[in-house]
Amino acid sequence: MKKTFLAFSLLATAFNIYGQNIMDFEKYDPPSTLVVPEHKITRAKFPFIDVHNHQFGMATQNLKELAAEMAKLNMAVMVNLSGSNGSTLKQAVDNAKANAPKKFIVFANINFSGVGENGWTEKAVKQLEEDVKNGANGLKIFKTLGLSVKDNTGKRVTVDDVRLDPIWRKCGELKIPVLIHTADPKSFWDPLDEKNERWLELKTHAGRKRSDSDPAPFETLIQEQHNIFKKHPNTTFIAAHFGWFPNDLARLGKLLDERPNVVVEFGAVIAELGRQPKAAKAFFTKYQDRILFGKDSWVPEEYATYFRVLETEDEYFPYHKKYHAFWRMYGMGLPDDILKKVYYKNALRVVPNIDRTLFPD
């Protein structure tokens, strides 16, 4: 019996290969035949604040043009996390003030070169204070901290390195939030095989593959991030990308329960929410005061997927990048009171100096 089955399997495999019954994973993408109501939304129901955006040339770019693109989406305010520091940051803030007042908020970045050198920490804190005086309203920490930042002896600077503590403390004193991206999706650490949900992304972006020694295990990096959340309860942290637990909302909920100084944003992870609309809606209901709207890359037409997952009860609709999600999306159908919190009320509370008059009650 067993032998017969084995022979049959081998024959079936051979037939599939030689009979051309196998096709490329990227090629197989059949249009859905499902007929259900569709609500393609190109404009958010309420004015919103995108707390996770990158405009790398803000010091010199045409912000009137950008603001006009934002208005089409009903994006009232954009938070540019790539503000840099020093004179570049000041120029970005001045450009925004002069050409698109109230439309942009700028976050500063730390220059991590030279960690460990005499006076590095004091200098970094002083720079941050100056940047805030010049109009920065938050600090963004890129994933390079933890992954690639090295100190002056060549050692990896951990996210919870004590030499950075005065920076987190200063943000609490200045009442500015720290939006922090640590690590990457857990799948980037997993074997690159047929069991990896991010197989296509790692195939098309080979540089994203990590391992336990390159530079450290996923859990180690996440723990380092959680350590600073715990050590600095007077500082507000915005954990980027749902803290890389958009696919484990129970674990994310536990973190939010333990750390009242932490909120989250869902940049680049809407596909995770769209595949679990019931659990995600329960999460958005329970943690409605802790979730901010974030998108990450500035591709205006991709916002439609975010609006559709948040606002509609549509079923089985496509996501815009197969390497993030080879599955389809479902809407959460959030009620207006929760939508308003996610679109703007929570950001108004967490990020200073956004003009409230741009938003309804």
Residues that bind Zn ion (CB under 5 A): 296
Helix axes 86-99, 63-73, angle to 10 degrees: 70
Q: How far is the CB of 54 from Zn ion (least distance, A)?
A: 6
Q: How far is the CB of 78 from Zn ion (least distance, A)?
A: 13
Could you give the count of Cα atoms lying within 13 Å of 33 in the half-sphere of its Cβ? 0
Nearest-CB residue for Zn ion: 296
Q: How far is the CB of 255 from Zn ion (least distance, A)?
A: 20
Minimal CA–CA distance to 110: which of 141, 148, 133? 141
**Phi/psi-derived region of residue 146, left when phi > 0, alpha when psi is between -120 and 50, beta in every other case:** left
Provide Rg for the chain, Cα atoms: 22
Q: How far is the CB of 82 from Zn ion (least distance, A)?
A: 8
Contact of 257 with 229, CB cutoff 8 Å: no
In three-state secondary structure terms, 264 is strand
Which residue, 179 or 342, is less far from Zn ion as judged by CB? 179
Cα separation, 231 vs 334, whole angstroms:
34
Q: In sequence order, what are the residues at sequence separation of 6 or more whose Cβ sits closer than 8 angstroms to the Cβ of residue 171? A: 128, 139, 177, 178, 235, 236
Which residue, 241 or 281, is less far from Zn ion as judged by CB? 241
Instruction: Please count the helices (runs of H) and the strands (runs of E) in the chain.
Output: 14, 8
Which residue, 244 or 330, is less far from Zn ion as judged by CB? 244
Which residue, 184 or 296, is less far from Zn ion as judged by CB? 296
Cα separation, 128 vs 138, whole angstroms:
10
Q: How far is the CB of 52 from Zn ion (least distance, A)?
A: 6
Cα separation, 256 vs 37, whole angstroms:
35
Q: How far is the CB of 296 from Zn ion (least distance, A)?
A: 4
Which residue, 41 or 81, is less far from Zn ion as judged by CB? 81
Which residue, 272 or 296, is less far from Zn ion as judged by CB? 296
Tokens coding 204 = 């098309």
The DSSP 8-state label assigned to residue 310 in this structure reads H
Which residue, 296 or 311, is less far from Zn ion as judged by CB? 296
Which residue, 138 or 277, is less far from Zn ion as judged by CB? 138
Instruction: For CA atoms 339, 248, 196, 32, give the dihedral sign.
Output: negative
Q: How far is the CB of 181 from Zn ion (least distance, A)?
A: 6
Instruction: For CA atoms 326, 330, 335, 336, give the dihedral sign.
Output: positive
Q: How far is the CB of 194 from Zn ion (least distance, A)?
A: 29
